[in-house]
Amino acid sequence: MQRRGWGSRFIGGDCAGKKSAITHVTGAQALPHRTPTLESNLPPCRPHPLATIDMSVTDPDLTAYRYSGAGEAKRFRLDRINPASTPCSSGDKPADQAALERLTLKIDDGQNLLLANRQRKLLVVLQGTDASGKDGTVRDVFRYTSPLGVRAVGWKAPTEEELAHDFLWRIHQRVPAAGEIVVFNRSHYEDVLVPVVTGAIKPAQTRQRYAHINDFERLLVETGTTVLKFMLHISKDEQRSRLQARIDDPTKNWKFNLGDLEVRKQWDAYQEAYADAISATGTTWAPWVVVPADSKAHRNLMIATLVSQALEDMELKAPPADPALANLKVS
């Protein structure tokens, strides 16, 4: 659904039982200005052919779904990733459900330690076309976490006040505080998608916004935030099916907007805009992961795998015991 007002401003874990090693930047590891120095977040893999990537259900390799090459003049090819592929699935539905259950409980444990320590932060960015499953991801992946330490932010078109500031002004106010997980349902990336497709900003303005986003995310990472960016990738046929379900089921009509059909007519343009944005902003400090999301179950499993691993990589410990409580007895 196209949001009125976007782009009208301008400023000058364990994947199917196999470990995926993820490296994160802590606040103490400052990065030189716009010079990538850290290796990206998913394990190295054998090269893949130029044909469409369609992983078998037993293949644990996720590197093909990750992009961190911004600045290398190498354009990311979204069309080479099959939205129906399931790299994190075991091929057994009950086993996958059990794996997701374990992962969501691990995320809850990690969130408790994150909140107790109040030093690190986690920002999860969910982007995708209409009906790609952003709401479902928030509901299913973070099902056991406490509202005390997890916030979900659903971004809409900017208000008049927000339009009077730079496009990142409102975003910075909602990023996680120390000890928090924040999930963005849509994000600052709408400002380099919608206005690009509608022609509201010119190519030079778009490039400028890409640079501002990279610097903004670098700031977050250097001050202790792990940034996970997921593009939920569904096929045009799958979107048609999901939109039709919203129309046919009266209890889901509230999820549907007639504007969604107009945006759907621009499918190819939005796919190109996503590929361009990923190419320009998939950095070593905040890489993109494209999540094949035709399967809702696989979408949840893949994202839960990487969120759980990100929390584990923080190596969080329970705060030290308070000596004053050693012999205290409650009467």
Q: What is the pLDDT of residue 15?
A: 54
Residues 6+ apart with CB under 8 A from 63: 42, 43, 44, 45
Tokens of 160: 């008049």
Question: How far is the C-alpha of 99 from the C-alpha of 17, rounded, in Å?
Answer: 8
Q: What is the pLDDT of residue 27?
A: 39
Using DSSP, state whether 183 is helix, strand or coil: strand
Q: Which residues of the chain have pLDDT under 50?
A: 1-14, 16-59
User: What is the H or E stretch that residue 300 is in?
Assistant: helix 296-313
250 burial level (CB within 10 Å; 0-12, 13-18, 19+): exposed
Q: What is the pLDDT of residue 96?
A: 96
Report whether 78 contacts 288 (CB < 8 A).
Answer: no
Pairing of strands 288-292, 66-67: antiparallel
Question: How far is the C-alpha of 68 from the C-alpha of 289, rounded, in Å?
Answer: 9
Q: What is the pLDDT of residue 17?
A: 44
Q: What is the pLDDT of residue 168?
A: 98
- Residue the block writes with tokens 């994190």: 88
Report which of 282, 284, 171 is spatially closest to residue 221, judged by C-alpha positions. 284
User: What is the radius of gyration, based on Cα positions, of the chain?
Assistant: 20
255, amino acid identity: K
Which ranges in 118-222 belong to alpha helices (H)?
134-141, 160-163, 169-172, 194-198, 203-222
Residues 6+ apart with CB under 8 A from 25: 31, 38, 221, 222, 226, 285
Q: What is the pLDDT of residue 61?
A: 61
152, amino acid identity: A
- The distance between the two most distant Cα atoms of the chain, rounded to a whole number of Å, is 71
Phi-psi region of 66 (alpha: psi -120 to 50; beta: other; left: phi over 0): beta
Q: What is the pLDDT of residue 14?
A: 42
206, amino acid identity: T
Length of the chain: 331
Report whether 203 contacts 14 (CB < 8 A).
Answer: no
Residues 6+ apart with CB under 8 A from 67: 76, 278, 279, 282, 287, 288, 290
Q: What is the pLDDT of residue 62?
A: 85
Report whether 305 contacts 93 (CB < 8 A).
Answer: no
